[in-house]
Structure 1
Amino acid sequence: MTMTYALVEREGPLTIITINRPEAHNALNAAAHRELEAIFDDFAKDDSQWVAIITGAGEKAFCAGHDLKQQASGGGLETPPKGFAGLTARFDLTKPVIAAVNGVAMGGGFEIALACDLIVAHERALFALPEVKVGLAALAGGLQRLPAQIGLKQAMGMLLTGRRVSATEGHALGFVNEVTQDDVLALAREWAAQIIECSPLSVRATKQSVMLSRTLSVAEAMAAQWQFSAMEAMLASEDAVEGPLAFAQKRKPEWKGK
């Protein structure tokens, strides 16, 4: 597949995805959505890739959301089956994804970030779900994820007004993990490196268990987690033997991801 709207780099087990429409503030049209869905499909099935970072080209925007010019010209609001950018409805992805927010993250752009497991942001970044201001609603997970991540009242304050939130306020609210004045992609790489030091199967089991447990009671979740697919894979893996053995031998583990 020829990449027109996104760039993909692989650094060992790390995949870096850059939305590449800076002239449109990295807003996504139908073709860009399909391209990103294919990229995340490849990441999900590639056993050699353990962590992904998604960012935007340039310094102004991470992603400005839907290409409203496309909608205004009759192009509609088409998104692929796996959601906005092929990510927001990808509920079976157990590999971690980090959002490196380099500029404005508006509407669907903010929803991409909310669908990631970690968000790091440059101090110039701005976040908003402004759909109510243009006669729409945050239908790519914003209505659900934002209240879950920052609480009902704070989320309603953003959702009902469409107000913009700075990276610093986002950190205070709890949806941003870390803010930097420097290179946000370098910061994301640092977080990714810490994850990559850990067992990839343990990371996937942890993510899947957390996500599938959110609608269960603690007792139900603790009982159910033994049957979660990523947990079963971890417990039956060579890495589950390698980790304790490396600890006992006082050496760095050599993860195989199997």
Structure 2
Amino acid sequence: MAPTNPTFNPPPPHVDSHILISFPTPQILLVTLNRPRSMNCISNAAHAQLVQIWSWYDSIPSLRCAIITGAREGSRRPAFCAGQDLKEWQASADQGRPTGRVGGFAGLSTRVGKKPVISAVHGICYGGGLEAAANTDLIIAHRDSSFGLPESARGVVAIAGVLPRIAVTVGLQRAGELAMTGRLLTAEDAKAWGLVNEVVEGDVVEAAVRWAQKICDQSPDSIIVSREGIRSVFSGDGVDEANRKIEEGSWVGLQEGENIKEGLKAFVEKREVRWVDSKL
């Protein structure tokens, strides 16, 4: 799939060669971690750049879905992301692991955000890589991928937000199996556990773009509000309180917007719907 070359105001944030930004369609952002010889481990500098990217993405109305993946060209072992750059971490071990990062690992593991992100995983998805992917909205995995939290074998802990989140996703005992025994999941295992949406044999980014396009085909207002409702499970509020906040917040904005009117009108007139960029 040939990338498009849309223009944005403001333009995308500046990034170094370890992160690539492209646009498979004018509505889809693709972020590629580009350290294949280091299994796409993420440095402290890359963390800061990724935080800026996700913030920028949420601010651009014409972008409706994002994908994150890992470069494979030149790698000895394909990887989505094998986690934190441990060499950098070890060199500053007396300072401890950086904490309090906005959005968590890769700007994703504790990200709330406004719009969806899809993980396109081909190869290793360990440690911080899984912390980031587990908090994205969908995960598409190549059949040769594997998932794990091996931190305990290195004397550290997956502390960037994945532990409570993975327990919600796969259940308490399975989360314990991942975090406390070092078990590695195949892509099919991860799908059976409810962590992965689809396992593919071909190009995982192309598959993720197909999923992203399905999201782009829906009302962008509905996607934003629905996503907020789904993620309210992590807010600590009860169901009634979480729903009340949405009804009194973003749902009001949706009802005042153009897309709800357009969707209902297109249904009555039996024609294709023409969404406009969300103002939420």
TM-score, scaled relative to structure 2? 0.87
Is 1:239 aligned to 2:253, yes or no?
no
SS in 2 for 1:127: strand
Is this contact kept in 2: 1:209–1:231, CA < 8 A?
no
In structure 2, the partner of 1:62 is 80
Is 1:85 aligned to 2:106, yes or no?
yes
1:192 counterpart (212, 216, 221): 212
Deviation above 4 Å: which 4+ runs of structure 1? Answer: none
In structure 2, the partner of 1:22 is 36
In structure 1, the partner of 2:45 is 31
Q: Deviations over 1:156-191 (max 9, x none)?
A: 111111211110000001110010111111110111
Q: 1:239 to 1:78 in 2, by over 3 A?
A: same
Shift of 1:213: 4.6
Is 1:74 aligned to 2:92, yes or no?
yes
Aligned pairs for 1:37-186 within 5 A: 37-58=51-72, 60-74=78-92, 76-78=96-98, 80-91=101-112, 93-186=113-206
Aligned pairs for 1:3-22 within 5 A: 3-10=16-23, 11-22=25-36
Give the number of equivalent residue pairs: 256
Q: 1:82 to 1:48 in 2, by over 3 A?
A: same
d(CA) in 2 for partners of 1:213, 1:23? 37
Give identity over the alignment, percent.
Answer: 38
* Aligned-partner residue type, residue 109 of structure 2: T
Q: Deviations over 1:134-157 (max 9, x none)?
A: 011111111111101000011111
In structure 1, the partner of 2:246 is 225
Q: 1:156 to 1:182 in 2, by over 3 A?
A: same
d(CA) in 2 for partners of 1:87, 1:219? 27
Shift of 1:37: 1.2
Shift of 1:4: 2.2
SS in 1 for 2:119: strand
Q: 1:38 to 1:219 in 2, by over 3 A?
A: closer
d(CA) in 1 for partners of 2:132, 2:247? 30
* Aligned-partner residue type, residue 108 of structure 2: L
Specify every segment of 5 or more residues in structure 1 that has no aligned partner in the other structure, as ranges: none
Shift of 1:46: 1.0
d(CA) in 2 for partners of 1:83, 1:2? 18
